[in-house]
Amino acid sequence: MNFEQARFNMVEQQVRPWEVLDFGVLDLLMSVRREEFVPEAYKSLALSEAEIPLGHGGSMLVPVIEGKILQAIQVKRSDKVLEVGAGSGYFAALLAAKADWVRTVDIEPALVNMAHDNLKRYGVENVIVEEGDAVRGWASSAPYDLIVVSGGVPQIADSLLEQVKVGGRLFAFVGEAPLMTATLVTRVSESQFRTESLFENLVPAMRNAPQKSHFTF
C-alpha cells in the first residue's frame, strides 16, 4: 500500500474539506505517520475515514476530528499538556510534535501498554504514558497549559478545570449520545472561564466521567 499517497488523500479529501485550513495542522498530519499507531489488523484502514477499534472499548478518533481538535487548541511549543485517554498514542504524538511535553493517561492497562510501545518505537521522547483515571484531573503535574479529553463527558469536572493554568485551554466533547459538542474552555482568570462551542459530533464516552445530576419530581 502506498501510505504516502493515502496520507495526502486523507489530508486533501477528508480533513481540508471540513474547514481544517491551518497549514501547521495539515503539515503535522502529513508528517506524523498514523499507520505506525494502528493495530496491525487495521493498517490498511489507517488513513481512511473509518473509526479504528483498539480493543477494550477503545477506538481512534477519525482523522477529520483529530484535525479539527488540533486547529482549535493551537498547541504552542511552551505548552505542558495533559491528554485524558491515551488510546494508541497517535494523538499524543501529534501533540508532542508541537508542545514542550505531554502526559497522557489511560484507565485501560492494555491501551497504556499500546500507547507506550507505539510512542517508544516511533521515537517520541517528550510523552509520558500513565495508567489511571484522569477524567477528573491528574494533579501530579498540574497545572497545565492545555488539557485534551479525547472522549465524551456528560460534563467537565470542576477538578479538571481547576488544573488549567490562567490563560490555558481545555478541550472536551461534552454531552451524551446521540450528539456531543466539541467545547473549548479558556481560563481567563483564577475564577473565570470562557466557553466556546465549536462543532457537534459523537465520540466514545469516557469511562468514569462525572454524570450530570438528573432530578425527578
Q: What is the pLDDT of residues 85-95, one digit of tens each?
A: 999 999 999 99
Distances 27 to 11, 30, 46, 91 between C-alpha atoms, Å: 9, 5, 17, 15
pLDDT digits (tens, 9 = 90+) for 159-209: 999 999 999 999 999 999 899 999 999 999 999 999 999 999 999 889 888
Half-sphere exposure of 25 (CA within 13 A, CB side): 24
From CA 201, how far away is CA 216, in angstroms rounded? 28
DSSP designation for 76? -
Strand 193-201's sheet: what is its strand order?
127-131, 101-106, 80-84, 144-153, 164-176, 179-187, 193-201
Point out which residues pair with 82 in neighbouring strands: 103, 147
Point out which residues pair with 103 in neighbouring strands: 82, 128
pTM of the model: 0.94
DSSP designation for 191? S
> Sorting pLDDT into bands at 50, 70 and 90, what band is 1?
confident
> Sorting pLDDT into bands at 50, 70 and 90, what band is 213?
low
Q: Could you tell me where the DSSP H helices lie in 55-177?
A: 63-73, 90-96, 109-122, 158-161
Point out which residues pair with 171 in neighbouring strands: 148, 184
Strands 58-59 and 53-55: antiparallel
DSSP codes, 152-164: EESS--HHHHTTE
Task: State which amino acid sits at residue 40.
Answer: E
pLDDT at residue 156 above 90? yes
Nearest-5° Cα angle at 199, 148 to 47: 70
